[in-house]
């Protein structure tokens, strides 16, 4: 949420600088998302607070925190005259996604540029002015967090606005000139059978307000946030309206927003306003909750004075319904759709009272036992061992592009088309990481990630944690030895086995290990690993036909009666007529190395037609 300082000070009188206010907002839970520029705070909130998508919502919490008055706009709530029957626009709703839809008709307006006090604030927010009518709807949306939309009455095809589900293949050209193809998940506003608006998302160009507009119909709606979220992602429209309508808003916000917009239009553009229709089949009742002082003390560890509690609730616009020695019964403000349990009330008290005011005391009880699951300690050990080998750890996105493979889990409401599925393995993300290194001329880099992978089996959704190392497979032997695993084998299908148990897979430049399968097989180091010896290593360069893999070579070598202690692939090169593998063999002291080397080369030539340059 962007908060221009010049606009914020319309509601809160403060001499603090933008930097000082950023500190206060951080205490409230609104952290700076970007550096402060031109006295505009770009705030990120991670709480379920739809009212923080309005400037008044942010100002309200700041005024309570700073203990200064909140100045709300003066709005005339006097009911406007009903429209004449012959001028009425009939509102018909045939979609369950619409909870409320309120309309007013304003006649005799003059469309012109907005006054500077509106355009300056919109520009500071990052929104370009268009004309006084459109600017007012945007201004009020930012101010109250409730979307509004104005249409030119003369451009409506009929004397109705019908809200229905879209049909597959229906199209609309938006205000920005983009053509959008719809499906039955969306709901649309139509007039005379012609689509004018994609409900809760974007308006159409045909009925947009222009310099020639004289009469408008102003509407404000409350919609199912799940539908807005799903449809907007599908048609790839993410705008200021969507960012608010895909949140849980209270329909009561519409009354203030449409009254505020009406007042501004009459003041700036002139005309006369008429009440048209208000579709509101299931009005929302205010919510009441009980705060127990004992619960507040239990969670906070402090005695908060009753006068402070009342001040905070009053500043946040709660109403005290009933008071006793043990409790306060409160009516929750309509805009606080996030308040669900008593602890939410306590969080408001502690937040506005400033968490920094909670005193610090030394523990009087024993330090709690470490309850971290053993698997997390094991993952930390894997990280340390790979970092010691010079590998770089990365964390990549769990979302990827669907490739239609079996067992893949696709998302019904994906944010973008290229992030519409959960990953089934870590290689795609790490491949992009290696490409970035290569782009910066960084070669010979080994990267790894420990993360979750996901798949679907029948009707079950499964997830597991794996380790994937890319850039080389040389580190596998060292990693396993450091984990106390000295005996393992690789199958022709590239599986890695320990004690006849599959723990992962390997290729010439990567390997993947299943963490929860590997962890029980790990053994601790003995105090003495081995007697001091002088092992000897030799490199053998092998020229193998294209159809053979490293696993094929190792399988043949493992069948020989050899004394070698380890074998690893130092590198792999693709030549014009064969694959060149450079293998490093290590023998313990006093081994008959020459004889065994001859046996290896002879067997590989006979069994696999592999030649050697060694």
- 340 and 200 part of one domain: no
Question: The tokens of 133 are what?
Answer: 């009518």
Mean pLDDT of 351-362: 88
Tell me, yes or no, whether 29 lies in a domain: yes
Task: Tell me the CATH number at 386.
Answer: 3.30.930.10
Render pLDDT for 137-160 as a digit per residue (tens, 0 to 9): 999 999 999 999 999 999 999 999
Render pLDDT for 506-545 as a digit per residue (tens, 0 to 9): 988 899 999 999 999 988 765 555 566 788 899 999 999 9
Task: Tell me the CATH number at 43.
Answer: 3.30.56.10
- 476 and 583 part of one domain: no
pTM of the predicted model, to two decimals?
0.67
- 467 and 552 part of one domain: no
Tell me, yes or no, whether 528 lies in a domain: no
Mean pLDDT of 305-317: 96
E strands within 409-494?
409-410, 421-422, 447-457, 460-470, 489-490
Render pLDDT for 364-408 as a digit per residue (tens, 0 to 9): 888 888 889 999 999 999 999 999 999 999 999 999 888 888 888
- 156 and 227 part of one domain: yes
Q: What percent of the chain has pLDDT over 70?
A: 98
- 37 and 156 part of one domain: no
- 131 and 200 part of one domain: yes
| Residue 202 near residue 175 (C-beta atoms within 8 A) | yes
Tell me the range of 74-88, 319-333, 537-551, 580-594 where mean pLDDT is highest: 319-333
Q: By three-state DSSP, how is residue 522 classified?
A: coil
Kindly list the distances between the CA atom of residue 514 and the CA atoms of 318, 463, 467, 509, in Å, as whole numbers in the listed order. 52, 11, 6, 18
Residue with tokens 């000139």: 177
Examine the pLDDT at 177 and tell me if it is beyond 90.
Answer: no
Rounded CA Rg of the chain: 34
Examine the pLDDT at 50 and tell me if it is beyond 80.
Answer: yes
Task: Tell me the CATH number at 124.
Answer: 3.50.40.10
Name the residue among 220, 272, 222 with its Cα closest to residue 247.
222
Question: Of 357, 385, 416, which closes a domain?
Answer: 357
Question: Of 497, 521, 545, which closes a domain?
Answer: 521
Mean pLDDT for the chain overall: 91
Structural domain range at position 574: 536-612
Question: Quick one: DSSP state of residue 333?
Answer: P
- 48 and 93 part of one domain: no
Tell me, yes or no, whether 188 lies in a domain: yes
Render pLDDT for 88-136 as a digit per residue (tens, 0 to 9): 999 999 999 999 999 999 999 999 999 999 999 999 999 999 999 999 9
pLDDT of residue 296: 94
Write out the H or E segment, with its range, that includes residue 120. helix 116-125
Tell me, yes or no, whether 368 lies in a domain: no
Number of domains making up the chain: 5
Question: Of 521, 551, 567, which closes a domain?
Answer: 521
- 548 and 568 part of one domain: yes
Task: Tell me the CATH number at 548.
Answer: 3.30.70.380
Question: Quick one: DSSP state of residue 355?
Answer: G
Examine the pLDDT at 474 and tell me if it is beyond 90.
Answer: no
- 386 and 456 part of one domain: yes
Tell me, yes or no, whether 102 lies in a domain: yes
Tell me, yes or no, whether 321 lies in a domain: yes
Mean pLDDT of 40-68: 92
| Residue 354 near residue 62 (C-beta atoms within 8 A) | no
- 408 and 511 part of one domain: yes
- Under the banding of pLDDT at 50, 70 and 90, the label for residue 76 is confident
Mean pLDDT of 296-312: 93
- 302 and 239 part of one domain: no
Render pLDDT for 486-510 as a digit per residue (tens, 0 to 9): 888 999 889 999 988 999 999 888 9
| Residue 201 near residue 236 (C-beta atoms within 8 A) | no
- 113 and 207 part of one domain: yes
- Under the banding of pLDDT at 50, 70 and 90, the label for residue 162 is very high
Question: Quick one: DSSP state of residue 274?
Answer: E
Kindly list the distances between the CA atom of residue 523 and the CA atoms of 416, 481, 484, 520, 526, in Å, as whole numbers in the listed order. 45, 10, 5, 8, 9
Render pLDDT for 443-470 as a digit per residue (tens, 0 to 9): 889 999 999 999 988 888 999 999 999 9
Tell me, yes or no, whether 14 lies in a domain: yes
Tell me, yes or no, whether 75 lies in a domain: no
Long-range contacts of 588-591 (CB under 8 A, 24+ apart): 588/533, 588/535, 588/563, 589/533, 589/534, 589/535, 589/536, 591/536, 591/563, 591/564
Q: By three-state DSSP, how is residue 95 classified?
A: coil
Q: What percent of the chain has pLDDT over 90?
A: 70
């Amino acid at each position: 949420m962007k908060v221009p300082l010049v606009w914020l000070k319309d509601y809160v009188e403060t001499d603090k600088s933008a930097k000082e206010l950023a500190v206060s907002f951080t205490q409230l839970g609104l952290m700076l998302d970007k550096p402060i520029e031109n006295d505009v705070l770009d705030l990120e909130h991670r709480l379920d607070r739809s009212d923080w998508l309005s400037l008044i919502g942010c100002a309200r919490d700041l005024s309570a925190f700073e203990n200064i008055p909140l100045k709300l706009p003066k709005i005339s709530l006097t009911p406007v005259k009903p429209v004449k029957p012959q001028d009425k626009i009939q509102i018909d709703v045939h979609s369950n996604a619409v909870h409320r839809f309120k309309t007013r008709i304003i006649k005799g307006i003059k469309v012109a540029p907005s006054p500077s006090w509106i355009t300056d604030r919109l520009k500071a927010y990052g929104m370009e002015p268009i004309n006084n009518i459109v600017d007012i709807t945007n201004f009020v949306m930012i101010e109250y967090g409730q979307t509004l939309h104005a249409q030119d009455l003369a451009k409506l095809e009929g004397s109705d606005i019908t809200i229905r589900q879209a049909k597959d293949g229906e199209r609309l050209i938006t205000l920005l000139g983009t053509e959008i193809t719809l499906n039955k998940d969306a709901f649309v506003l139509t007039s005379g059978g012609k689509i004018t608006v994609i409900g809760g998302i974007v308006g159409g160009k045909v009925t947009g307000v222009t310099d020639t507009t004289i009469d408008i119909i102003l509407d404000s709606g409350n919609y199912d946030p799940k539908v807005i979220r799903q449809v907007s992602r599908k048609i790839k429209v993410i705008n200021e309206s969507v960012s608010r309508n895909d949140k849980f808003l209270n329909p009561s916000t519409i009354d203030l927003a449409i009254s505020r917009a009406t007042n501004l239009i009459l003041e700036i553009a002139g005309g006369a306003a008429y009440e048209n229709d208000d579709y509101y089949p299931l009005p929302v009742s205010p919510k009441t909750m009980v705060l127990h002082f004992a619960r507040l003390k239990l969670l906070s560890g402090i005695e908060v004075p009753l006068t402070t509690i009342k001040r905070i609730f009053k500043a946040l616009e709660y109403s005290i319904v009933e008071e006793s020695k043990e409790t306060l019964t409160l009516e929750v403000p309509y805009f606080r759709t996030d308040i669900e349990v008593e602890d939410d009330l306590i969080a408001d008290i502690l937040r506005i009272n400033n968490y920094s005011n909670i005193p610090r005391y030394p523990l009087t009880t024993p330090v709690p036992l470490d309850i971290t699951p053993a698997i997390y300690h094991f993952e930390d050990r894997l990280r340390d061992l790979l970092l010691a080998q010079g590998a770089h750890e990365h964390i990549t996105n769990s979302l990827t592009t669907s490739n239609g493979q079996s067992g893949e889990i696709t998302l019904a409401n994906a944010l973008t088309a290229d992030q519409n599925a959960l990953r089934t393995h870590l290689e795609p993300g790490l491949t992009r990481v290696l490409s970035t290194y290569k782009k910066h001329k960084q070669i010979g880099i080994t990267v790894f990630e420990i993360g979750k992978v996901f798949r679907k089996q029948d009707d079950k959704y499964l997830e597991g944690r794996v380790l994937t190392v890319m850039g080389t497979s040389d580190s596998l032997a060292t990693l396993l030895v450091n984990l106390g695993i000295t005996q393992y084998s690789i199958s022709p299908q590239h599986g890695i086995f320990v004690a006849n148990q599959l723990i992962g897979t390997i290729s010439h430049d990567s390997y993947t290990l299943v963490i929860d399968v590997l962890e029980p097989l790990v053994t601790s180091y003995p105090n003495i690993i081995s007697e001091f010896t002088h092992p000897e290593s030799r490199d053998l360069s092998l020229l193998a036909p294209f159809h053979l893999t490293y696993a094929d070579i190792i399988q043949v070598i493992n069948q020989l009666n050899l004394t070698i202690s380890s074998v690893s692939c130092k590198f792999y090169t693709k030549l014009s007529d064969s694959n060149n593998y450079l293998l490093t063999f290590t023998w313990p002291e006093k081994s008959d190395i020459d004889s065994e080397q001859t046996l290896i080369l002879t067997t590989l030539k006979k069994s696999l037609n592999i030649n050697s340059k060694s």
